[in-house]
Copies of this chain bind each other. A is one copy, B any other.
Amino acid sequence: MRRVGILLSGRGSNFEAIARNVRAGRLDAEIAVVISNRAEAPGVETARSLGLTALAIPSRGLEREAYDQKLIEALKQHGVELVVLAGYMRLLSPAFIREFPMRIVNIHPSLLPAFPGLDAQHQAFDYGVRVSGCTVHFVDEHLDHGPIILQSAVEVAADDTAETLSARILAEEHKIYSEAIGIVLSGAFRIDGRRVKLENRNHAS
């Protein structure tokens, strides 16, 4: 499995990091298509400037089920095996998730299950945690909830603001998302309950 489809709604800085890693040969994947639900998303232009196939499929005015059917068709047309969410600001329908079982990944800027939902970095900062981070997980039918593939911890510094913390978390996102995608594409894992067991790998090292 190598063919990846990216869904985004904005700039997609995680998409940019993934594209860089693919181009540099650090991630053995092929970005088959980039799809935005917003025609004006900067990520579409970025994708095209990188010579990638990028589609804008506007979601405005469409029911989720109807829109997701259009997405499914476009992804299948491009032979997408793994769907990668990169700042895609819509909830996926159960029908979409059933179409790609354990084949949709997302990244969230907190150590889930802490601080799901929007603005996780500010939630964590205001809560006063000393450690936050980011999580790459499979997408299931519950928000920010599927089995966790990788997490990376980021310490909160005494002089941090929510913004400086967010920036350090984003830098970690750019590292672990490509690593997690590589793990999923390699198939070198098993899912036991909701634990993702990596093969030939030790996450303390």
Say if the beta carbon of A20 comes within 8 Å of chain B.
Answer: no
* Among B129, B130, B151, B198, contact of A158 (Cβ-Cβ < 8 Å): B198
> Within residues 108 to 154 of chain A, which ones have a CB less than 8 A from any CB in chain B?
111-115, 125-131, 133, 135, 147-148, 150-153
Among A2-10, A62-70, A188-196, the stretch in contact with B: A188-196
* Among B128, B160, B205, contact of A147 (Cβ-Cβ < 8 Å): B128
| Chain B residues near A125 (CB-CB < 8 A) | 195
A residues in contact (CB < 8 Å) with B = 111-115, 125-131, 133, 135, 147-148, 150-153, 155-160, 193-198, 201-205
A-B contact pairs, 5 of them (CB 8 A): A111-B129, A125-B195, A130-B150, A131-B151, A131-B153
